[in-house]
Chain A
Amino acid sequence: MNEKEIEELKAENEKLKKMNEVKSDLISISSHQLRTSLSALKWILKMFIDEDLGKMTSEQANFVRKAYNSNERMIRLVNDLLTLNHSGDTTVPYTITKVDLLNLIEQTVFEFSGETSKKEIDLTFLKPESPVSSIDCDENMIRVVLQNLIENAIKYSNPKGKIFVSLLQDNEDLKISVHDTGIGIEEEDKDEIFKKFFRAPNAIEKDAIGSGLGLYTTRNIVERHNGKIWFENMSGGGTTFFVALPIT
């Protein structure tokens, strides 16, 4: 490659970087504006549901609840788009620090206690028996990975189900697993599950709120940490997701 071609490539690269910045700004600004209207809708619909604005017939209440859930789905989509915009934008470097995964998992599991008690789900962190190494990672991004996996496990679990989160260390990796006793993943959906906007038909039937971006974003983040993500359907029912992150 001669000097002129190198210069042209550099200029092209700069142009692409600028376009990417414009795209990120556009997503960020439009999401902020969308969230303002979605917040207003959320609050006013909740005021109707709570009968702050007077009594409704059961038919009216039913429609308002459906509108509220639909709005929640839209909020979820905007949140996921923002996370995806940040996590997948390779021009924005991750903030890498030494992170104690055990502590991070403990905190994240604790944050879900309200949600699990609503469905009477038993969420347990099976701590490793021997000490594990800290790893170099972006703490906020790995928190998103944990949140997405635990949230999915809750969403697709039946009431009174069980979820186990574990952490193990082998020679090269720290391995996190999230096991649920939920509805599982159909064989024909196995290759689709990490694709953008994919939602499994059994998940849609279950009416779980989701944008189809959670696992796509999760895989993006794990792969940007040079890690691996996969899942297995368990013979006794339910699914286990595994994330392996290299110890550097």
Chain B
Amino acid sequence: MKKVLIIEDDNFLQGLEATKLKKNNYEVSIASTGEEGMEKINESGIDLVLLDLMLPKFDGFEILKKIRETEDIKNLPVIVFSNLSEEKDIKRAKELGSTDFMIKSNFTLEELIGRIDKILKK
């Protein structure tokens, strides 16, 4: 079973994402703050990170940077899943090496699962 780390500070959104992922046979790990996210990216067996950008303490950009700079996890697929949509945010995430950038309100959770399946070739 593939494992997805959700880094999301909104409890309700986090719960919905986790429910949908579990229904689609994914194992889920959850971080609710940037700090927790920074710790959990090193957890073993993570296949993909679903990353919000506006987070307390460390934001999503810092976490993405950390992932790409850490030898053991630098190739981990990261989908930035945020409601920030300004060109500068998308550009910055891309430059830092995000695998994909999805604006939450413009996608259903099925579409999100579709992207994750495709990246993990499930």
Query: Which residues of A sit under 8 angstroms from B106, Cβ to Cβ?
Result: 75, 79
Interface residues of A in 67-115 (CB under 8 A from B): 75, 78-79, 82, 86
Residue with the greatest number of chain B CB neighbours at <10 A, chosen from A43, A47, A75, A140: A43
**Beta-carbon nearest neighbor of A72 in chain B:** B105
Selected interface stretch from A13-21, A33-41, A56-64, A128-136: A33-41
CB distance from B110 to the nearest CB of A (A): 7
Selected interface stretch from B41-49, B55-63, B72-80, B84-92: B84-92
- A39 in complex: contacting residue of B20, B84, B105, CB < 8 Å: B105
Query: Which residues of B sit under 8 angstroms from A79, Cβ to Cβ?
Result: 85, 105-106
Q: Give the size range of B's interface with the partner.
A: 20 to 34
CB distance from A89 to the nearest CB of B (A): 12
Query: In the complex the two chains form, is B105's CB within 8 Å of A47's CB?
Result: no
Chain B 1-26, CB-CB to A under 8 Å as 1, else 0, gives: 00000000010110010011001000
Q: How far is B16's CA from A70's CA once the two chains are assembled, in angstroms?
A: 20
- Decide yes or no: A43 and B109 within 8 Å by CB, A32-B54, A32-B83, A86-B86 being known contacts: yes
Q: How far is B16's CA from A50's CA once the two chains are assembled, in angstroms?
A: 14
Query: Which residues of A sit under 8 angstroms from B83, Cβ to Cβ?
Result: 32, 35-36, 39
What are some 15 contacts across the A-B interface (CB < 8 A)? A32-B83, A35-B105, A36-B13, A39-B83, A40-B12, A42-B108, A43-B20, A46-B109, A47-B20, A47-B109, A50-B110, A52-B20, A78-B105, A79-B106, A82-B86
Chain A positions near chain B (C-beta within 8 angstroms): 28, 32, 35-36, 38-40, 42-44, 46-47, 50, 52, 75, 78-79, 82, 86, 140
